[in-house]
Chain A
Amino acid sequence: MTVVEPSVTVAERRLAELDASFEEFCRENIVAVERFLRSQCGDRELVQEAVQETLITARDKWEEISGYEKPLAWVYKTARYKLMNEQARQRREATATLDEVPTDRLVAPPADSREAQEWLLSCLRRLPERQAAVFALAFEGWTDPEIARILGMADNTVRSYKSAARRRLKELAEEAGFTAPARGR
């Protein structure tokens, strides 16, 4: 009657391990995933919904996904599709919600790292969606091949969008009055 006990314990331990590793992954990354989507969409509720749905699926398949080269890459990719589908559905239902894209402008330079992040996100949302996604990932330190794979685009496109996004951000910074003084850079 003690024969089955060890195997049950192994399975239970494996489940508990998965649960703990997912929980840690989730806690570590959930803010970053949200931030990534927020670089492309100003609707926080929509973003949260897409992130949560993605993570629930990730939890379901965690045994498999946790073995990926970088599980976060899969989460980014999947969350972005969820968001895009949800946006498309909303547009079909009520095109009126497209109306107001708030153009947030800062009068004073950001005072801390959080404000700087928010400023960056608001600027990225004024860029073409793909350029914003490329820049947001590059900014987090993902390599060009990784970005191309996460976003499903050509390698050349990543390079091209990275510089286009930077040019546009510089323009937006200058519009807001943030210009580089002559420092011999």
Chain B
Amino acid sequence: MTVDLDDILAMAASHKPTVFERASASRNTRWVQQQYTRAKAEGRDLVGDVDLHDPLRGDTGEVRRITRAAQLAKQGTVRWDAATGELTWSDEMSLILGRPPGAVRQTLDALYGLTHPDDAHRVRQAATAAWLGRTATELTCRVVQPAGITRWVHFYIEVLTGDGGEPTGIIGTARDVTELELARREHERRARRRAIVERASGGLGPRDGLRDRTAFSDEIDRSRRTGTGVLLVVATEQGGGTEPQGGTDSERLSDVVATFIMKLARRNDICGVLGPGEFGVLMPDIGLRPATSLAHTIVERLRGQLFVAGPHGLRLDAWGGLVRFEAYDESSSIDLLIDAESAWRHAKETGALLKALPRPAPADERQEAWRTRVRAAVAGNGFTLYTQPILDLRLNQITRQEILLRTLNDAGNPVPPSPLLDIAEHVDETLPIDLWVMDNAFELIAQGPPTPHYQINLSGRSLGDPGLLGRVQDLLHKHDVDPRRITFEITETARIDNRSEAMYFARTIRELGCQLALDDFGAAYSSFIYLKSFPIDLVKIDGAFITDIVNSPTDQALVRSIVEACQAHGVLTAAEYVRDAATIELLRGFGVDFAQGYEVGPPMPIAGAPASSGTSIEFDLRLDSPA
């Protein structure tokens, strides 16, 4: 059976009071009588400002009726007479407009003049439409009071009718709704904000679920501020020496192992995935001994467990490194992570299950140990280079390649370098890596196909090194590379610590013909101030704004505004993490100049790039897919 509005209205109209409703009516009537008797006995005024006219018999025309109603509701009225073209408004209306009654000559133009310029057109339209359409309407607009004070005012607009049925004018009833309007806007804003924040936190409660490396670092810092604890880092490797080839299986395995560890940890411990095969457990308020015992259990159980990920069952080798920290220790979260990572490496090298540090390593010791590792990696050619194509969205052609660094692990397989770079930044040892990349990249560029342009990463840390400029010039000269084919992508702008040196490098390198780009724009420490004060040519918009941009109006708003700001400053824009054709089309529409990502092309090894020298250097800490 189908029911429509008329059926429901007919049904509602047929309603006869139920027994319950009749009882309630009698009860409420008695209550009214009682209240009346009591109020009378107390001598209360029961009329007050209530209007005692008979509304039906006492009516003296529309204008009087409407102005009287406005007075009762403490609202203002404005009336326009079609015959004379005159406009008049009430004293209450004057107050709404912020003018003493009689202070402004009452004309149509005066009224529009008091309306906010952005709303005046809308008000005129609404009034005209009501008049021409002989219909009632309402609208909310702003009026500007003296000294620029802005108030929101709601208007009912009605058409008046003469005795002969002809329209004779317009009357508006107005009230100040500023508080209401502000509350409504605030309510809308909060709802929008709530939706964004919920999406960003991914539904993670403060103490549950798995965290990535960044979120896990934040938890370490929070824990450090509030008390003591132990940080455990567990590293796993698949037995038999086969390397995971990336993709869903290794991600799934990572999830399975993390969940396994989480179940073994205490309820308030915080777990995180730090990289491929690397997991963190943060244990607040625990002594070294019970923590070591728990860590032992975790590593042993990991080794004993048969994991099933995808079609294969597999066993894992595992090691643990842990470090105890005190409240307000000098060591930062990255220091503690480095120490725990050093500890599991030590355990692995010495054939142990676990290594426990009773306190963080001294800063200089930590720094020296990792500097040695970085230098060994550089000296031993523990790296290789990949390239990834960049699409020029105006030409729809690949016109550039980004040179990407890969570290080589034990088995000589290339893995993302970001964990090593993080640490290199931290121990102030980026320059040797950057120079290694340049030396090898320039050589390949000189030999390779004539792609017009290459983009090479350069740490913000190296930028302030007074020796950098001379070394770059030497390398360009050595390989005979045209500087105009090179753009340097500056990463980690937060770590540009020698501003004047960095600025000098930037100016000079551009005079040579090289260009400068800012990487990961919009995330972390990059800011609009660089557009204003640093001589950059290109901004690479952070991938976090691009991956889901097709479905996200908020990401679209952010990217649009970045592009607009860049265009105004004469800076080109590139988008990373572009994964489908729809994203490319959207970015093109926004005026983005370049696109990079799997949809354009994945990172590929460069033929002739240096391969593993067999030196045992492992930096396979983090899965940080390049794009």
**CB atoms of A59 and B32 under 8 A apart:** yes
**Which residues of B sit under 8 angstroms from A46, Cβ to Cβ?**
none
**Which residues of A sit under 8 angstroms from B328, Cβ to Cβ?**
none
Per-residue B-contact encoding for A131-171, CB less than 8 Å = 1, 0 else? 00000000100000010111111111100110010000110
Cα distance, A27 to B22, chains bound together (Å): 8
Cα distance, A170 to B545, chains bound together (Å): 42
**CB atoms of B15 and A117 under 8 A apart:** yes
Given the interface contacts A77-B55, A148-B65, A155-B62, does A178 sit within 8 Å of B180 by beta carbon? no
B184 at the interface (CB under 8 A from A): yes
Per-residue B-contact encoding for A25-44, CB less than 8 Å = 1, 0 else? 01110110000000000000
Interface size class of A (residues with CB under 8 A): 35 or more
**Which residues of B sit under 8 angstroms from A22, Cβ to Cβ?**
33
Q: Which of B56, B66, B134, B183 contacts A160 (CB 8 A)?
A: B134
**Which residues of A sit under 8 angstroms from B171, Cβ to Cβ?**
154
**Which residues of B sit under 8 angstroms from A153, Cβ to Cβ?**
65-66, 69, 136, 156, 158
The smallest beta-carbon distance between A75 and chain B, in angstroms, is 10
Cα distance, A154 to B135, chains bound together (Å): 10
A16 at the interface (CB under 8 A from B): no
A5 at the interface (CB under 8 A from B): no
**CB atoms of B2 and A181 under 8 A apart:** yes
Per-residue A-contact encoding for B27-69, CB less than 8 Å = 1, 0 else? 0110111011001100000111011101111010010011011
**CB atoms of B28 and A69 under 8 A apart:** no
Cα distance, A150 to B58, chains bound together (Å): 11
B73 at the interface (CB under 8 A from A): yes
**Which residues of B sit under 8 angstroms from A152, Cβ to Cβ?**
65-66, 68-70, 72
Q: Which of A56, A120, A161 contacts B46 (CB 8 A)?
A: A56
B372 at the interface (CB under 8 A from A): no
Q: Which of A52, A69, A85, A179 contacts B31 (CB 8 A)?
A: A52
**Which residues of A sit under 8 angstroms from B70, Cβ to Cβ?**
152
Cα distance, A120 to B9, chains bound together (Å): 8
Given the interface contacts A26-B32, A113-B14, A149-B55, does A154 sit within 8 Å of B158 by beta carbon? yes
**Which residues of A sit under 8 angstroms from B5, Cβ to Cβ?**
169-170, 173, 178, 180
Cα distance, A22 to B11, chains bound together (Å): 30
The smallest beta-carbon distance between A159 and chain B, in angstroms, is 9
Given the interface contacts A117-B12, A178-B8, A181-B2, does A150 sit within 8 Å of B52 by beta carbon? no
**CB atoms of A180 and B6 under 8 A apart:** yes
**CB atoms of B136 and A157 under 8 A apart:** yes
**Which residues of A sit under 8 angstroms from B14, Cβ to Cβ?**
113
Closest to B171 in A: A154
B187 at the interface (CB under 8 A from A): yes
Question: Per DSSP, are chain A's interface residues mostly helix, strand or loop, or mixed?
Answer: helix
Closest to A56 in B: B36
Q: Which of A56, A99, A109, A151 contacts B32 (CB 8 A)?
A: A56
Cα distance, A56 to B179, chains bound together (Å): 32
**Which residues of A sit under 8 angstroms from B73, Cβ to Cβ?**
81, 84-85
The smallest beta-carbon distance between B314 and chain A, in angstroms, is 50
Cα distance, A30 to B33, chains bound together (Å): 13
Per-residue A-contact encoding for B311-324, CB less than 8 Å = 1, 0 else? 00000000000000
**Which residues of A sit under 8 angstroms from B179, Cβ to Cβ?**
91-92, 95
Q: Which listed segment binds A: B159-167, B206-214, B249-257, B531-539?
A: B159-167
Interface size class of B (residues with CB under 8 A): 35 or more
Cα distance, A179 to B7, chains bound together (Å): 10
The smallest beta-carbon distance between B572 and chain A, in angstroms, is 45
Given the interface contacts A98-B187, A155-B161, does A119 sit within 8 Å of B8 by beta carbon? yes
Cα distance, A78 to B73, chains bound together (Å): 11
**Which residues of B sit under 8 angstroms from A164, Cβ to Cβ?**
135
**CB atoms of B3 and A160 under 8 A apart:** no
B289 at the interface (CB under 8 A from A): no
The smallest beta-carbon distance between B256 and chain A, in angstroms, is 41
**CB atoms of B54 and A110 under 8 A apart:** no
Cα distance, A128 to B8, chains bound together (Å): 21
**CB atoms of A173 and B8 under 8 A apart:** yes
**CB atoms of A31 and B55 under 8 A apart:** no
Closest to B180 in A: A91
**Which residues of A sit under 8 angstroms from B26, Cβ to Cβ?**
27
B21 at the interface (CB under 8 A from A): yes
**Which residues of B sit under 8 angstroms from A96, Cβ to Cβ?**
183
**CB atoms of A98 and B56 under 8 A apart:** no
**Which residues of B sit under 8 angstroms from A61, Cβ to Cβ?**
46-47, 52
A17 at the interface (CB under 8 A from B): no
**CB atoms of B3 and A156 under 8 A apart:** no
B109 at the interface (CB under 8 A from A): no
B17 at the interface (CB under 8 A from A): yes
A23 at the interface (CB under 8 A from B): yes
Q: Which of B4, B12, B161 contacts A116 (CB 8 A)?
A: B12
**Which residues of B sit under 8 angstroms from A73, Cβ to Cβ?**
54-56
The smallest beta-carbon distance between A88 and chain B, in angstroms, is 8
A60 at the interface (CB under 8 A from B): yes
**Which residues of A sit under 8 angstroms from B66, Cβ to Cβ?**
152-154
**Which residues of A sit under 8 angstroms from B69, Cβ to Cβ?**
151-153
Among B6, B11, B182, which residue has the most Cβ atoms of chain A within 10 A? B11
**CB atoms of A23 and B161 under 8 A apart:** no
**Which residues of B sit under 8 angstroms from A113, Cβ to Cβ?**
11-12, 14-16
Cα distance, A149 to B61, chains bound together (Å): 9
**Which residues of A sit under 8 angstroms from B65, Cβ to Cβ?**
148-149, 152-153
**CB atoms of B47 and A156 under 8 A apart:** no
Q: Which of B52, B54, B161 contacts A154 (CB 8 A)?
A: B161
Cα distance, A145 to B46, chains bound together (Å): 29
B568 at the interface (CB under 8 A from A): no
**CB atoms of A139 and B59 under 8 A apart:** no
**CB atoms of B25 and A30 under 8 A apart:** yes
Q: Which of B16, B25, B36, B167 contacts A60 (CB 8 A)?
A: B36
**CB atoms of B54 and A74 under 8 A apart:** yes
Cα distance, A110 to B1, chains bound together (Å): 12
B201 at the interface (CB under 8 A from A): no
**Which residues of B sit under 8 angstroms from A154, Cβ to Cβ?**
62, 66, 136, 158-161, 171
Cα distance, A157 to B57, chains bound together (Å): 20
Closest to B11 in A: A116
**CB atoms of A56 and B8 under 8 A apart:** no
The smallest beta-carbon distance between A67 and chain B, in angstroms, is 8
Q: Which residues of A contact B (CB under 8 A)?
A: 19, 22-23, 26-28, 30-31, 48, 51-52, 55-57, 59-61, 64-65, 68-70, 73-74, 77-78, 81, 84-85, 91-92, 95-96, 98-99, 109-110, 112-114, 116-117, 119-120, 128, 130, 139, 146, 148-157, 160-161, 164, 169-170, 173, 178-181
Q: Would you list the 9 A-B pairs with minimal beta carbon distance, nearest first?
A: A152-B69, A95-B183, A113-B15, A180-B4, A116-B11, A157-B136, A116-B12, A109-B3, A68-B54
Q: List 15 A-B contacts (CB under 8 A).
A: A23-B29, A26-B32, A26-B33, A31-B17, A56-B39, A69-B56, A74-B55, A91-B180, A113-B11, A130-B156, A148-B65, A150-B55, A152-B70, A160-B135, A178-B3
**New A-B contacts (8) at CB < 8 Å, excluding given A77-B55, A81-B72:** A26-B25, A60-B47, A116-B12, A117-B12, A148-B62, A154-B160, A160-B135, A173-B4
